[in-house]
Amino acid sequence: LPPFDPADPLGVDDLLEPEDLAVRATVRDWAADRVLPHVAGWYEKGELPQIRELARELGALGALGMSLDGYGCAGASAVQYGLACLELEAADSGIRSLVSVQGSLAMYALHRFGSEEQKRRWLPGMAAGEIIGCFGLTEPDHGSDPASMRTHAKRDGTDWVLNGRKMWITNGSVSGVAVVWAQTDDGIRGFVVPAGSAGFSAPEIKHKLSLRASVTSELVLDDVRLPADAVLPEAVGLKGPLSCLSHARYGIVWGAMGAARSCFEAAVDYARTREQFGRPIGGFQLTQAKLADMALELHKGILLAHHLGRRMDAGRLRPEQVSFGKLNNVREAIDICRTSRTILGANGISLEYPVMRHAANLESVLTYEGTVEMHQLVLGKALTGLDAFR
């Protein structure tokens, strides 16, 4: 029998191909070099000062639009994309959010629903990280219920004129292009809005206590006039943005386990070295029970992510299964981070350790891409056939 590996107690790595391991190692090394030495400082200041450089480096790694084909994208497998999300979020959820919004929301919307011309215009620059993108669905008064959005696009001759507000938009202020969802006479449609458009602005949202190493913005659209070909031709109705969200949520299923792994590792290290009552706190049964329970949920979550990844690669992943993974893995990840925090005692609240930062970040991850309650309602509906949303 192979020896027990504390880093991979279930032997999940046996499911990986050599290319998968290479992708994981590349992203892990990049994050260790470019994010980990700086992220506590960025977090403390509430900024991501090197976002453009980081985006270009992530582009060079092939991490932007990673599982998309063509147009400069890496064409990686869903499992490889997931492994990258896990390694990025082990550094910080803000960096994984940058990559998720760029690749799974903005680029995915263009790739799946855009015209050939739109894809050629935007995707190569976005894949290279030269152009940052954002995805505007949520509004100040409409979050979980995007079907009620008020942002609208009206025809004026052949042009479109957009008015409205979007809220909590990741990458907004640094984006060169925004994919904005709006009501039209034909239902909800997606629009490609270049950041320089007259009437468009993206003020940054400050004073966040979570996801502080991430740019979050409002999008303001005041009579933004766009040509006829600004609309994404292949998306009509809410299923357009929802399919993008499903792709991004899939990445979060993996990513959340990265944040959890980072906290768990910090807790194990601390428990082995911190002494109270004359011996390491890891030698007390109560601490071991916490570590054992955390290891169960961490590695079950990683196994679940692999399972969903293989289904996505086989073209068999249903949105309800993504809800299953997002609900479970983010909820368990935040629990692991909070329990790790208790093991670190007072040090657990310090930015000297990654634990509180991850726990606070996961409060956002728990809410965005569908709150816990929304995913419970998705599963409740799938299990009973009864719609409890309204």
Q: If 0-12 CB within 10 Å is exposed, 13-18 middle and 19+ buried, where does residue 352 land? A: exposed
Instruction: Verify whether residue 19 is a known catalytic residue.
Output: no
Is 389 an interacting residue with respect to ligand FAD (CB under 6 A)?
A: yes
Is 371 an interacting residue with respect to ligand FAD (CB under 6 A)?
A: yes
Task: Between 180 and 302, name the residue whose CB sits nearer to ligand FAD.
Answer: 180
Taking the complex as a whole, the smallest distance from the CB of residue 203 to ligand FAD amounts, in Å, to: 15
CA pair distance 190, 230, nearest whole angstrom: 9
In this structure, what token pair is assigned to residue 350? 């310090």
> Count of CB atoms within 10 A of residue 335's CB?
16
CA pair distance 196, 220, nearest whole angstrom: 12
Taking the complex as a whole, the smallest distance from the CB of residue 111 to ligand FAD amounts, in Å, to: 17
Side chain identity at residue 51, one-letter code: I
Which residues is 163 bridged to in the sheet?
A: 152
- Nearest residue to the partner ligand FAD, using Cβ: 143
Q: How far is CA 269 from the centre of its chain?
A: 27
Is 373 an interacting residue with respect to ligand FAD (CB under 6 A)?
A: yes
Give φ, ψ of 276 to 5 degrees: -140, 150
Task: Between 216 and 321, name the residue whose CB sits nearer to ligand FAD.
Answer: 216
Taking the complex as a whole, the smallest distance from the CB of residue 211 to ligand FAD amounts, in Å, to: 4
Side chain identity at residue 266, one-letter code: A
Q: If 0-12 CB within 10 Å is exposed, 13-18 middle and 19+ buried, where does residue 365 land? A: buried
Task: Between 131 and 294, name the residue whose CB sits nearer to ligand FAD.
Answer: 131
Task: Between 170 and 287, name the residue whose CB sits nearer to ligand FAD.
Answer: 170
Is 101 an interacting residue with respect to ligand FAD (CB under 6 A)?
A: yes
- Out of 175, 321, 339, 364, the only residue in the binding site for ligand FAD (CB under 6 A) is 364
Judged by CB under 6 A, the chain residues 157 through 216 that form the site for ligand FAD are 168-170, 211, 216
Task: Between 59 and 172, name the residue whose CB sits nearer to ligand FAD.
Answer: 172
In this structure, what token pair is assigned to residue 302? 């990683």
Size of the site for ligand FAD (CB under 6 A): 20
Taking the complex as a whole, the smallest distance from the CB of residue 93 to ligand FAD amounts, in Å, to: 9
CA pair distance 310, 315, nearest whole angstrom: 9
Binding mask 11-30 for ligand FAD (x = CB under 6 A): --------------------
**Measured torsion, CA atoms of residues 135, 141, 146, 151, in degrees rounded to the nearest 10:** -60
H or E element at residue 314: none
CA pair distance 38, 354, nearest whole angstrom: 12
Q: How many CA atoms lie within 13 A of 11 on its CB side?
A: 5
Kindly give the residue spans of alpha helices, DSSP state H, lying in the chain.
18-34, 39-45, 51-61, 78-91, 93-99, 108-113, 116-127, 239-273, 285-313, 319-343, 355-367, 372-384
Is 368 an interacting residue with respect to ligand FAD (CB under 6 A)?
A: yes
- Out of 163, 183, 347, 367, the only residue in the binding site for ligand FAD (CB under 6 A) is 367
Task: Between 106 and 344, name the residue whose CB sits nearer to ligand FAD.
Answer: 106
Taking the complex as a whole, the smallest distance from the CB of residue 152 to ligand FAD amounts, in Å, to: 16
In this structure, what token pair is assigned to residue 5? 């590996």
Task: Between 77 and 151, name the residue whose CB sits nearer to ligand FAD.
Answer: 151
Taking the complex as a whole, the smallest distance from the CB of residue 138 to ligand FAD amounts, in Å, to: 3
Is 138 an interacting residue with respect to ligand FAD (CB under 6 A)?
A: yes
Judged by CB under 6 A, the chain residues 107 through 136 that form the site for ligand FAD are 134-136
Which one of 8-16, 195-203, 226-234, 364-372 is the stretch in contact with ligand FAD (CB under 6 A)?
364-372
Q: One of 87, 89, 218, 369 is an active-site residue; which one?
A: 369
Binding mask 211-240 for ligand FAD (x = CB under 6 A): x----x------------------------
- Look up tokens 């290290």; give the residue: 269
CA distances from 41 to 34, 223, 355 (A): 13, 39, 15
**Contact positions toward ligand FAD, by CB under 6 A?**
101, 134-138, 143-144, 168-170, 211, 216, 364, 367-368, 371, 373-374, 389
Residues marked active site are found at 369
